[in-house]
Amino acid sequence: MSRNKELAKVLNRIADFLELKGELIYKINAYRRAARAIESLSEDIAEIYEKGDIYKIPGVGERIAKKIEEFIKTGTISKYEELRREFPEELAELLDVPYLGPKTLKLAYERLGVRSLEDLKRVIEDGSLAKLPGMGPKKVENIKKGLQLYLKGSDRMLLGEALELAEYVVSQLESYCERIQYAGSLRRMKETVGDIDILAVGDAGVIMDRFVKMDRVSEVIAKGTTKSSVLIGTRQVDLRVVKKDQWGAALQYFTGSKEHNVHLREIAKEKGLKINEYGVFEVGSGKRIAGEREEEVYEVLGLQFVPPELREDRGEVEAALKGELPEIVPYDGIRGDFHVHSNWSDGGFSIEEIAEAAKKMGLRFVAIIDHSKSVKIAHGLDEERLLEQIEEIERLNRKFKGFTILKGIEVDILPDGSLDLSDDVLSRLDWVVASVHSRFNEDATERIIAAMHNPYVTCIGHPSGRMLFQRDGYPVDWDRVFEEAARTGTCLEINAHQDRLDLNDVLVKRAKEFGVKFAIGTDAHHIGQFWMLRLGVGVARRGWLTKGDVLNYWDLRRIKAFINKKRRGLCR
Ligand code: DGT
Ligand code: CA
Ligand code: CA
Ligand code: ZN
């Protein structure tokens, strides 16, 4: 959906520029709301426009609809072009720096002449930024962190973005190839991806010609017969065409990780073998003994086949040698989504629309967990509205056959560790996710543990609070949290939203060792976002989880039994 993303970016930019100019907040917010909705659409905006459905997108009124139309017809929006010309070109880049809001940037621009990344660095270092009204050392510290995140993160992309790009390329080339598949960090489902590596078998001349001529290619970096590289937007895609009998070896080699491959090479050496992207060879005779299938490469080394998500040299080679790799969760067989927002808070769709869409996708249940009252910007629910929502869900559940809407809430964990809704109302729910949404600089261990001690809390939402490329999480003593989660029978969430992926793979693997159970939830605010479940499964696989560890693979009876065990105090 790159066109949707581009449009959302332009709308957000308009909002940023309006904010830099000091325009009225409601105008600015209208652009941001529309951008958020468009970004999360699963259908191409141009198709929605053709059908005359753009007014159905939440937040799109007449004025913004006109701008969308202009974007679809011309590829840009004149208002955006005008605004852009009013400011120095480099200033736009600064708008992407996390923690540096347009308001602060406006001050820094007007009073300190900040117009580039270098300028920003200078005013942080020399202390002048801290002296601006409303600033101070803590805010500057955050902006400094944001600048580091920005400089570090801008050359990588989110997993979701990479998947979309790779699937586009594969779909464009598929019919010209005997085989085609993406490899690299994307195949390993790493949370961020540097560049995209694609392997193919077939007529190299034809395939490479098609590759460099794809619609979305913005620049051809190199074109050859075995390897070509292009840019799509600013993202690099490498394509290699290999011989059919080398396919398995190449796929293994280019899937990586480098560390995993280095470890395999050591094992090969001990066995008198040599392994590279062309095959596995006997050192003395030079005879090739494997290479056509990827499985063969592991077989001849005496290893179990290692799924790509595990190939990080985090113990998988040792386990595979002993035949002790776990049977990790599959991409199919997910029965439900444990984290969905509806239009009762800041989601874009009604509960009924969500249930219909989820059912159509083959899910058996969703948990509706809107925000609770403390999260004011999201119109969080108070007790009264939550009780109304419970009634509505009960009404809908009588209607749906073979599908269940779980009554839930994403209840806010307050700074003192208490929750912002009463136990009385929480006790009427099926699924209670408790999340931290404030004080990101302070250690959150005690807050999380206090929430887990509430018998009605079934899950801790996005446990670390990190946002990829945007902010680090709050500090947490993880081992203590894992111990308490296991002891109290409280799940930890794998938030599958592409901006979060929280808990991350490494922490998931550690938590599993404590006996923690997990619930995957997309944090969807839109019915077009259920696809992100796949990203959550990727994290679960990278965390070595099996079906027994992840509630999404269980039937509702087993899930209810798990919840009731905690409620009845059996885990204490
Ligand atoms: P990325 O793109 O930074 O997210 O990470 P990768 O893992 O996709 O790395 P990339 O694109 O540099 O290379 C793709 C794979 O090719 C990598 O995972 C393993 C393999 N590879 C690349 N360079 C080397 C190397 O110097 N030694 C070995 N053993 N393998 C390499
Ligand atoms: Ca790569
Ligand atoms: Ca590469
Ligand atoms: Zn949340």
Residue 261 beta carbon below 6 angstroms from any ligand 1 atom: yes
Of 499, 453, 517, 449, nearest to 478 by C-alpha is 449
Own/partner long-range contacts of 473-476 (Cβ < 8 Å, ≥24 apart): 473/440, 473/502, 474/436, 474/439, 474/440, 474/441, 474/442, 474/443, 474/444, 475/442, 475/443, 475/444, 475/445, 476/443, 476/444, 476/445, 476/448
Distance CA 470, CA 442 (A): 17
**What secondary structure letter does DSSP report for 550?**
B
Whether residue 327 lies inside any domain: the answer is no
154 falls in which pLDDT band (50, 70, 90)?
A: low
Query: Among 151-160, 243-252, 542-551, whose mean pLDDT is lowest?
Result: 151-160
| Top-confidence residue, 91 or 110 | 110
Highest mean pLDDT: which range of 50-54, 342-346, 374-378, 417-421: 417-421
For the cut 70, the answer to whether the pLDDT of residue 571 exceeds it is no
- Is 456 in the same domain as 518? yes
Please report which ligand is nearest the Cα atom of 433: 4
| Top-confidence residue, 16 or 42 | 16
Domain-ending residue, one of 241, 264, 297: 241
Which tokens is 47 given?
């198709």
Query: Among 16-30, 217-231, 328-342, whose mean pLDDT is lowest?
Result: 16-30
- Is 460 in the same domain as 517? yes
Of 235, 210, 202, 207, nearest to 221 by C-alpha is 235
Task: Say what the pLDDT of residue 54 is.
Answer: 87
Please report the DSSP string for 303-351 in residue order.
-PPPPGGGTTTSSHHHHHHHT----PPPSS---EEEEE--TTTT-SS-H
Length of the chain in terms of residues written: 572
- Is 163 in the same domain as 141? no
Question: Exposed (0-12), middle (13-18) or buried (19+): which is 142, by Cβ within 10 Å?
Answer: middle
Task: Say what the pLDDT of residue 215 is.
Answer: 93
Question: Exposed (0-12), middle (13-18) or buried (19+): which is 107, by Cβ within 10 Å?
Answer: middle
Distance CA 297, CA 320 (A): 13
CATH number assigned to the domain comprising residue 256: 3.30.210.10
Helix or strand holding residue 161 (H, E): helix 159-173
Residue 161 beta carbon below 6 angstroms from any ligand 1 atom: no
Q: Cα–Cα distances in Å, from 538 out to 185, 315, 338?
A: 12, 18, 16
Whether residue 173 lies inside any domain: the answer is yes
Whether residue 555 lies inside any domain: the answer is yes
Interval 487-512 mean pLDDT: 97
Looking up tokens 């109302």 gives 425
Residue 252 beta carbon below 6 angstroms from any ligand 1 atom: no
Query: Among 86-90, 142-146, 512-516, 540-544, whose mean pLDDT is lowest?
Result: 86-90
Whether residue 331 lies inside any domain: the answer is no
| Top-confidence residue, 194 or 234 | 194
- Is 144 in the same domain as 161? no
- Is 301 in the same domain as 388? no
Q: Name the closest-CA residue to atom 26, ligand 1.
A: 258
Q: Name the closest-CA residue to atom 23, ligand 1.
A: 258
Of 290, 211, 206, nearest to 247 by C-alpha is 290
- The pLDDT tens digits for 203-218 are 999 999 999 999 999 9
For the cut 80, the answer to whether the pLDDT of residue 558 exceeds it is yes
For the cut 60, the answer to whether the pLDDT of residue 499 exceeds it is yes
- The pLDDT tens digits for 320-355 are 999 999 999 999 999 999 999 999 998 889 999 999
Name the amino acid, one letter, at 553: Y
- Is 304 in the same domain as 211? no
Domain-ending residue, one of 322, 346, 372: 322
Interval 37-41 mean pLDDT: 82
Task: Say what the pLDDT of residue 203 is.
Answer: 97
For the cut 90, the answer to whether the pLDDT of residue 92 exceeds it is no
Please report the DSSP string for 367-424 in residue order.
EEEEEBTT-GGGT-B-HHHHHHHHHHHHHHHHH-SS-EEEEEEEEEB-TTS-BSS-HH
**What secondary structure letter does DSSP report for 548?**
G
Whether residue 329 lies inside any domain: the answer is no
- Is 552 in the same domain as 508? yes
Residue 254 beta carbon below 6 angstroms from any ligand 1 atom: yes
For the cut 70, the answer to whether the pLDDT of residue 318 exceeds it is yes
Interval 531-560 mean pLDDT: 98
Residue 308 beta carbon below 6 angstroms from any ligand 1 atom: no
For the cut 50, the answer to whether the pLDDT of residue 225 exceeds it is yes
- The pLDDT tens digits for 390-449 are 999 999 999 999 999 999 999 999 999 999 999 999 999 999 999 999 998 899 999 999
Task: Say what the pLDDT of residue 36 is.
Answer: 85
Distance CA 249, CA 298 (A): 10
Distance CA 196, CA 181 (A): 11
Q: How many separate domains does the chain show?
A: 4
The share of the chain scoring above pLDDT 90, in percent, equals 76
Taking the CA of residue 256 as reference, the ligand 1 atom at the shortest distance is 18
Question: Exposed (0-12), middle (13-18) or buried (19+): which is 271, by Cβ within 10 Å?
Answer: middle
Interval 120-142 mean pLDDT: 90
Please tell me the distance between residue 305's alpha carbon and the centre of ligand 3 in angstroms.
Answer: 23
| Top-confidence residue, 342 or 136 | 342
Residue 184 beta carbon below 6 angstroms from any ligand 1 atom: yes
- Is 181 in the same domain as 193? yes
Query: Could you tell me the maximum CA-CA distance found in the chain, to the nearest angstrom?
Result: 78
For the cut 80, the answer to whether the pLDDT of residue 232 exceeds it is yes
Task: Say what the pLDDT of residue 572 is.
Answer: 57
Whether residue 330 lies inside any domain: the answer is no
Distance of CA 131 to the CA centre of its chain: 37
Residue 185 beta carbon below 6 angstroms from any ligand 1 atom: yes
- Is 304 in the same domain as 434? no
**What secondary structure letter does DSSP report for 142?**
H
Whether residue 262 lies inside any domain: the answer is yes
- Is 399 in the same domain as 544? yes
Q: Which domain holds residue 400?
A: 336-567
The share of the chain scoring above pLDDT 70, in percent, equals 99
For the cut 50, the answer to whether the pLDDT of residue 18 exceeds it is yes
First to last CA, the chain: 48
Q: Which residues pair with 550 in a beta bridge?
A: 518
Please, what is the average pLDDT of the chain? 93
- Is 36 in the same domain as 175? no
Distance CA 161, CA 166 (A): 9
- Which residues have CB atoms below 5 A from the ion given as ligand 4? 435
- Is 307 in the same domain as 340? no
Taking the CA of residue 196 as reference, the ligand 1 atom at the shortest distance is 2
Task: Say what the pLDDT of residue 1 is.
Answer: 43
Domain-ending residue, one of 116, 135, 154: 154
Whether residue 75 lies inside any domain: the answer is yes
Among 165, 191, 197, name the best residue to mutate to test ligand 1's pocket (greatest count of ligand atoms within 8 A of Cβ).
Answer: 197
Please report which ligand is nearest the Cα atom of 156: 1
Distance CA 388, CA 191 (A): 38
Please tell me the distance between residue 185's alpha carbon and the centre of ligand 3 in angstroms.
Answer: 9
For the cut 90, the answer to whether the pLDDT of residue 150 exceeds it is no
Residue 256 beta carbon below 6 angstroms from any ligand 1 atom: yes
CATH number assigned to the domain comprising residue 375: 3.20.20.140
Please tell me the distance between residue 126's alpha carbon and the centre of ligand 3 in angstroms.
Answer: 39
Task: Say what the pLDDT of residue 348 is.
Answer: 86
Interval 498-506 mean pLDDT: 97
Question: CB-based contacts of 431: which residues, under 8 Å, 6+ apart?
Answer: 338, 367, 369, 406, 407, 408, 458, 459, 563
Instruction: State yes or no: cis peptide before 149, omega within 30 of 0.
Output: no
Of 538, 145, 526, nearest to 350 by C-alpha is 526
Helix or strand holding residue 222 (H, E): strand 217-222
